[in-house]
A and B are shown apart, each in its own frame.
Chain A
Amino acid sequence: MKAFLTEVKKCKRRRLWLLYLCAFLVAVLWIGSSMIRYPFNEKEAAAGYYMLILNYSLMNLIFLPVILAACASRVCDIETKGDTDKMLLTMQSKTSLFHSKIILNGIYILIFSAAETLSLFLMGQIFHATQPIPYFQLIWFFISTFVVSLILYVMQQILSLLMKNQLMPLFIGLMGTFTGVFSAFFPYTILSSIVPWGYYAVFNPVMMQIGDTFEEVSYFTVPLPWIRICIFLIFGLLFYLAGLKCYLKKEV
């Protein structure tokens, strides 16, 4: 607990919340403005929540990996820049330092995911979606946003803690965004399975189909790819364990 409270104190004036707020506002404003310009027609309103879930997932896919890389870099950079390891590690263990950073950002990610899910629901209400509220998909959207973001954050934190130059993890996060977005256009291929940054799309149960005339768009749900999801979770766990081991081995 004291390690976590210290972490909170350390991040004073680092405005971590601002990065998450920016990601949230960009998603809400982008989707909100497009809804104002192109409100639901009758057919779209009947699948309104599905359409919103798909749009929010796309926004997360585009913005969150970079935001998470920036957040990880900001919390790890203060240690690298201030050369604080040799001071901190005489007062706390490496594992507590490692985990307190994850918990702090985990809380931000949790709040962000909840806020996004709530805004998605409100957006459906405000723009008169006639579709019955798909509770399962909304809860799943919340869980998947939280889980994927947390795993990506842990990956970025490990990279930031192990690399002295913070530009490298940021660059990896940026490249991850590109490959993630790219992989989303090739669902059910090996590419979409091996790119962790693209898992916002893999976790999404809603699909979109464009008709032959490009005028008709239909939204529907597909069964969740549990095997790929499990592999991703195992990958996240292994990355965490390996990363923690490397971090513990790293000498001051």
Chain B
Amino acid sequence: MNYTIETSGLTKKYNGHFSVNHINLRIPECGIYGFLGPNGAGKSTTMKMLLGLVKPTEGNVKVLGKFLTPQNRLSILKQTGSLIESPSYYAHLTGRENLSLICMLKQAPESEIDRVLHIVRLENQQHKKTGQYSLGMKQRLGLAGALIGSPRLLLLDEPTNGLDPAGIQEMRDLICSLPKQYGITVMVSSHLLSEIDQMATDVGIINKGVLIFQDTLSALHRKSRRQLKLKTTDLDKTARVLSTHGLPVTYSAGQRFLKIPDEGDQRTAAAVSLLAKNEIGILRVEETENSLEEIFLSLTGKKVSL
């Protein structure tokens, strides 16, 4: 598999404390890599190191097939776009003028401005000073700036921060369209599990500077242990009956359901007939998966902020 970004042993220490601890990222081409972690896990520091904005204490970074060095950093980054933390802008300039500055620095034609303004749907506000923009508009302007020069790689650090629900949906749709429409590899960080779940094709989970999981989103979901949710006319009797026949039973939160492990169709059929024999009315049998929150909790042992 081709990787757009590869790191080996990437580490950043601040005052002897590991902010990022020997992480080996593998970001596949033309996908959306969700970089997930609670606040303060080291996501922004990692992304800054990928852009050469922060010098790693140890390890190296390979971007678009080349090792990132102070000498070749700018030439490699010409093919990337980034939006780190809050959007950067000159408040006294209009949106169009801000993008024109980026065009100059990236040596991209001015016609790019109209293209990216169209992508982020900011054409009508292009002549307004950015100081008067709403946060959502600033985020979209930041994304437009990152898209100038048709980059092959886009690094977006919490791009939906501070957006209203409509803005979040819009930004999410926009990010999802980038790999398909423009062949861009996107790395997007978030502390929101649901957000990554809706956008990413691959996932990396970082906690306390350590990469604790890295694979496809479907592999993450496979980690989820499937269970059966049971609702009957008598939950306590059901629990007693199933337990005596060797099935581990747990109550759901609020004790409205029972949960048993899903061990195949035959075992399910056997459990149902056992309940019927004991004259217990079966109201519902439902297949469930662990939520990402629960998976994260099992990986990190820490409840995440949502």
Contacts and interface: CB of A to CB of B under 8 A. Distances in A.
B120 interface: no
Interface in A70-123: 78, 81-93
B89 A82 contact: yes
Interface in B10-59: 48, 51-55
B137 to A, nearest CB: 14
Interface residues of A, number: 25
A129 B104 CA distance: 51
B48 A86 contact: yes
Interface string A1-23: 01101100110111000000000
A87 B106 contact: no
B93 A92 contact: no
B93 A2 contact: no
A13 B129 CA distance: 11
Contacts of B142: 87
B102 interface: yes
A9 B55 CA distance: 30
Given A89-B53, A90-B51, A91-B74, A14 B92 contact: yes
Contacts of B92: 12-14, 78
B82 A90 contact: yes
Nearest to A87: B88
A10 B102 contact: no
B88 to A, nearest CB: 4
Given A13-B92, A92-B74, A252-B48, A86 B55 contact: no
A14 B100 CA distance: 17
Interface in B72-88: 74, 77-78, 80, 82, 84-86, 88
B102 A252 contact: no
A9 B101 contact: yes
A102 to B, nearest CB: 18
B104 A81 contact: no
A82 B91 contact: yes
Contacts of B145: 87
Nearest to B44: A86
B53 A9 contact: no
A212 interface: no
Interface centre among A78, A83, A91 (most CB of B within 10 A): A91
A11 to B, nearest CB: 9
Contacts of B101: 6, 9-10
A12 B142 CA distance: 20
A251 B86 CA distance: 16
Given A6-B105, A9-B101, A91-B74, A86 B91 contact: no
B107 interface: yes
Nearest to B55: A251
Interface in A228-252: 251-252
Nearest to A86: B84
A214 B77 CA distance: 69
Interface of A: 2-3, 5-6, 9-10, 12-14, 78, 81-93, 251-252
12 contacts: A2-B107, A3-B105, A5-B104, A6-B101, A83-B88, A86-B84, A87-B82, A87-B142, A90-B52, A91-B102, A251-B54, A251-B55
Given A2-B105, A85-B88, A251-B53, 19 more contacts: A2-B107, A9-B97, A9-B101, A9-B104, A78-B91, A81-B91, A83-B86, A86-B48, A86-B82, A87-B82, A87-B84, A87-B142, A89-B53, A90-B77, A91-B102, A93-B74, A252-B48, A252-B53, A252-B54
